[in-house]
Amino acid sequence: MTAEVFTPTVAVTMTPNAVRHVRKQLEKKPDAKGIRLAIRKSGCSGFKYETQWVEDVAADDKVFHIDGVDVFVKEEHLPLVNGIEIDFVTEGVNSMFQFRNPNATAECGCGESFTVA
């Protein structure tokens, strides 16, 4: 009997609006190599998304090349963001990133935090 090695594919995608926004911001930040999607424990549901401009790439960073934008994710966060779509939306006078995560099983009422089962 032989065993087949299975390497899971991790996906992170961005909408055209998000790509356009990040490109514009990177033009203003010549030292930035891309954007980091980070996760930290927070809020009533467990985790919170954070975005940061990346100037120094860490050894445990995985990079996703999306239409000319590099998105960096720490290896330990990959299971929490696999399949996520990053969007950039405007609601009224507010503009923000919006994250559509198929792994999120719950979100708090204010949208600050999420849970992954």
Mean pLDDT of 28-54: 88
Percent of the chain at pLDDT > 90 equals 58
64 neighbors 81 (Cβ within 8 angstroms): no
What pLDDT sits at residue 6?
Answer: 53
Question: Range with the lowest mean pLDDT among 2-6, 27-31, 33-37, 105-109?
Answer: 2-6
- Ordered by start, the domain boundaries in the chain are 13-115
Q: What is the pLDDT of residue 5?
A: 54
Distances (CA, A) of 1 to 4, 7, 8, 49: 10, 19, 22, 43
CATH of domain 13-115: 2.60.300.12
Tell me the pLDDT tens digit for each residue of 94-109: 999 989 888 887 777 6
